[in-house]
């Protein structure tokens, strides 16, 4: 699970900075289309700044401080969907997956296209052993960012936990193809794939 945790940190940092995978705003070219698309909640600036401090704390592994800051951000703006998603993934890791799932769902109810929340939900569902739901949310990340290595890897670990060798290796190969340097040693060491140790197809992928 360690590599997936690191992936959560990296995706959080990248998306909070407006990196790859951030959904584009709808085109204003069609008045009718624009009117049909609900406006995304504009996060209070003070709340946004506190949220960014929370992301920094989370990236350093200080979950307690990150949670405190996320709550402070939410005091300034109760609909800060970024802070809700961050709070949810911390809850999933440190309190209970189900509690985290509920908080991340609140984030998605405010901004259904928030890609970071897709990843966080995939992680929370995985922690709760809801493997099919986790796969579904990792796939939603990939729909927005087809080169997201750790979503392919996350799907592979879900299939491995389901003991589906063919699907596990299919998605592991996609992750390896994108980032062999980091993925191979993680896959070789992690418990998800322990049952495949000694399997010729698996060993070929991670050697």
User: Are 109 and 181 within one domain?
Assistant: no
Q: Could you report how far apart the first and last alpha carbons of the chain are, in Å? A: 20
pLDDT on residue 11:
52
Given a cut of 50, the residues of the chain with pLDDT beneath it are 2, 10, 12-35
Q: Is residue 35 part of a domain?
A: no
CA quadruple 7, 13, 17, 23: dihedral positive or negative? positive
pLDDT on residue 39:
82
pLDDT on residue 32:
44
Euclidean distance between CA atoms 89 and 67, whole angstroms: 10
Q: Is residue 66 part of a domain?
A: yes
User: Are 179 and 112 within one domain?
Assistant: no
Nearest to 83 by CA among 50, 38, 126: 50
User: Are 96 and 163 within one domain?
Assistant: no
Nearest to 104 by CA among 94, 95, 90, 37: 90
Range of the domain at 157: 147-207
Structure tokens at 189: 């060491």
For the entire predicted model, the pTM comes to 0.83
Euclidean distance between CA atoms 59 and 137, whole angstroms: 22
Euclidean distance between CA atoms 168 and 70, whole angstroms: 35
pLDDT on residue 40:
86
């Amino acid at each position: 699970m360690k590599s997936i945790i690191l992936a959560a940190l990296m995706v959080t940092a990248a998306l909070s900075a407006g990196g790859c995978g951030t959904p584009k705003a709808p085109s204003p070219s069609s008045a009718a289309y624009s009117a049909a698309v609900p406006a995304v909640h504009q996060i209070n600036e003070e709340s946004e700044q506190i949220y960014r401090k929370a992301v920094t704390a989370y990236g350093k592994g200080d979950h307690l401080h990150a949670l405190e800051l996320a709550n402070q951000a939410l005091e300034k703006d109760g609909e800060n969907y970024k802070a809700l998603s961050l709070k949810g993934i911390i809850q999933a890791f440190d309190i209970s997956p189900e509690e985290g799932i509920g908080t991340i769902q609140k984030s998605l109810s405010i901004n259904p296209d928030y890609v970071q929340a897709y990843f966080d939900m995939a992680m929370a569902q995985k922690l709760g052993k809801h493997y099919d739901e986790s796969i579904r949310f990792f796939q939603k990340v990939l729909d927005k960012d087809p080169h997201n290595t750790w979503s392919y890897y996350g799907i592979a670990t879900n299939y491995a936990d389901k003991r589906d060798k063919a699907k596990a290796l299919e998605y592991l190969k996609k992750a390896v193809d994108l980032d062999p340097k980091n993925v191979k040693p993680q896959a070789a060491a992690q418990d998800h794939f322990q049952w495949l140790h000694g399997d010729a197809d698996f060993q070929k992928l991670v050697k």
